[in-house]
C-alpha cells in the first residue's frame, strides 16, 4: 500500500511539473541573466533484480522522486552556483530500505584575473547498494574542494587541487567512518596550441574510525588536449605507493585516462581508464582497475541512443587468507527523448556480473528504469 500511495503522489507531482512548464529559460530572471533561479524535478520507476548486490538475489520494484532548486549568479568577480535537492526512494517489498536523501552544493568560481579557480562545498546523504561490502549502505558525505590555476608565462602554468571528504555511515556498528585529505600539484607545459604536457604529484591521507590509516603518494606524467587527429582528452601514467598504518606497503603502476572521439556528427565515443587505491566501507584497502567505453548516437534532435560497457578488477589488500579478488563486467543501453529544455524522458536497461573468490560476493544484477524529468 505504501508503494502504491507513493507512486500515485509521484505521478501527481510529475504531472504538476509538466503542466507548469514555462517558455522562459529560468523560473526567475533578475537583471537579465545575472541572477537566475531554476527549479527541477524527476520521477523514476524501475525494477532491480538484486538490490543488496550479493548472492541472495533479492529483487524489488522501486519508485523514486527528486525535486530541487538551482541558483546561478553572474555578477562581480566571483560566479556563484548553488543547488539543493530532496530525493526519496520507495521499495515495494523491502520497505525498510526506503530512504530520504537531501543534498546541497555550493560553488564559487573565479574565471578572470591572473589566478583563477573554484571553491566547492557539498553535503549529501547517499543510499546505495555497495558491491564491495555486499549490502546497502546509508551515509552522510561532506566533500570540500579548492582548485587553482596560475600561469607563469606563455609556456608554463601550475594547477593545485586541495580536497577534503568526510563520510559517516548510519550503520556505525559494522562500517568504518572515513576522512580523506588530498593535495596535488601539477606543472603544465604548452607543447602545441592544442596539446599540453603535464607532470604532477599527489598525496592523500585517509583515516577510518577503526584505526586503519593510509598515506598514498602518486607521481605521474601525461598529456591533455588534442591527443591525436580526432581524439581529445587527458591521459596520465604514474607510480603509486600506499602505506597502511605504517605496517604494510603496496605499490602499483597507476593510470588515469579520459578520451573522447567524435566518430561522426551523430556518433560520439568516450573511454575512461582508472587504476587507484581505494578504501571501502569496512576500512579495507582495494587495488581497483576499471575500463569503460560509452557511445551516444543522436537519431535526431529529440531522440538519442545511449550504451556503455565496463570491465574491472578489485584486489582486496591486507586481508587474512583466502584473499578476496573480484572481477566484474557490466553493460547498459537506453533511449532518451528530449522534447525541449523543460521535458525529458528515458528508459535504461543495466546488467552487472561480479565474479568473486568469495561465494557470497559472486552475483548478477540487472534492472530496468523509466524516468521523466523537467527543469524550468
pLDDT along the chain (376 residues), means of 10: 41 42 57 83 97 96 97 89 97 96 97 94 96 94 98 96 96 86 98 96 95 93 93 97 93 95 96 96 94 97 97 91 93 96 95 97 97 94
Based on the number of CB atoms within 10 Å of its own CB, is 230 exposed (0-12), middle (13-18) or buried (19 or more)? exposed
Q: Does the model's pTM come out above 0.75?
A: yes
Q: What is the pLDDT of residue 174?
A: 83
Residue with grid cell 533484480, as numbered in its chain? 49
Distance CA 177, CA 374 (A): 36
From the centroid of its chain, how far is CA 24? 30
CB neighbours of residue 344 within 10 Å:
18
User: Which H/E stretch holds residue 17?
Assistant: helix 2-19
Please give the domain boundaries of the chain with CATH numbers for all domains. Answer: 2-375 (2.40.160)
Neighbours of 113 (CB within 10 A): 8
Predicted local distance difference test score (pLDDT) of residue 224: 97
Cβ contact 307:332 at 8 Å: yes
Burial class from Cβ neighbours inside 10 Å (0-12, 13-18, 19+) for residue 62 reads buried
pLDDT at 229: 83
Amino acid at each position: 500500500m505504501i508503494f502504491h500511495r507513493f507512486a500515485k503522489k509521484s505521478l501527481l507531482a510529475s504531472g504538476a511539473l509538466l503542466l507548469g512548464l514555462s517558455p522562459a529559460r529560468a523560473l526567475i530572471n533578475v537583471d537579465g541573466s545575472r541572477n537566475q533561479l531554476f527549479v527541477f524535478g524527476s520521477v523514476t520507476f524501475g525494477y532491480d533484480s538484486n538490490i543488496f548486490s550479493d548472492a541472495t538475489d533479492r529483487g524489488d520494484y522501486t519508485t523514486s522522486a527528486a525535486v530541487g532548486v538551482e541558483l546561478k549568479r553572474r555578477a562581480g568577480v566571483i560566479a556563484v552556483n548553488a543547488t539543493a535537492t530532496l530525493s526519496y526512494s520507495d521499495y515495494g517489498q523491502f520497505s525498510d530500505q526506503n530512504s530520504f536523501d537531501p543534498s546541497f552544493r555550493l560553488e564559487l568560481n573565479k574565471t578572470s584575473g591572473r589566478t583563477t579557480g573554484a571553491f566547492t562545498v557539498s553535503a549529501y546523504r547517499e543510499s546505495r547498494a555497495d558491491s564491495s561490502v555486499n549490502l546497502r549502505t546509508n551515509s552522510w558525505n561532506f566533500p570540500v574542494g579548492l582548485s587553482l590555476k596560475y600561469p607563469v608565462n606563455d609556456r608554463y602554468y601550475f594547477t593545485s587541487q586541495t580536497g577534503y571528504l568526510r563520510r559517516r555511515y548510519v550503520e556505525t556498528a559494522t562500517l568504518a567512518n572515513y576522512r580523506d585529505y588530498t593535495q596535488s600539484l601539477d606543472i603544465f607545459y604548452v607543447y602545441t596550441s592544442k596539446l599540453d604536457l603535464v607532470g604532477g604529484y599527489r598525496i592523500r591521507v585517509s583515516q577510518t574510525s577503526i584505526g586503519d590509516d593510509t598515506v598514498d603518494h602518486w607521481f605521474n606524467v601525461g598529456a591533455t588536449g588534442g591527443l591525436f587527429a580526432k581524439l581529445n582528452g587527458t591521459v596520465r601514467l604514474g607510480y603509486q605507493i600506499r602505506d597502511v598504518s605504517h605496517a604494510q606497503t603496496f605499490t602499483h603502476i597507476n593510470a588515469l585516462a579520459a578520451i573522447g572521439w567524435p566518430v561522426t556528427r551523430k556518433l560520439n565515443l568516450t573511454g575512461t581508464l582508472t587504476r587507484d587505491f581505494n578504501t571501502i566501507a569496512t576500512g579495507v584497502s582495494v587495488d581497483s582497475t576499471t575500463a569503460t567505453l560509452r557511445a551516444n548516437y543522436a537519431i535526431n534532435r529529440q531522440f538519442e541512443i545511449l550504451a556503455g560497457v565496463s570491465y574491472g578488477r578489485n584486489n582486496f589488500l591486507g586481508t587474512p587468507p583466502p584473499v578476496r579478488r573480484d572481477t566484474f563486467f557490466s553493460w547498459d543501453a537506453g533511449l532518451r527523448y528530449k522534447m525541449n529544455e523543460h521535458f525529458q524522458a528515458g528508459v535504461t536497461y543495466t546488467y552487472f556480473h561480479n565474479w568473486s573468490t568469495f561465494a557470497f560476493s559472486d552475483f548478477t544484477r540487472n534492472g530496468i528504469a523509466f524516468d521523466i524529468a523537467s527543469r524550468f
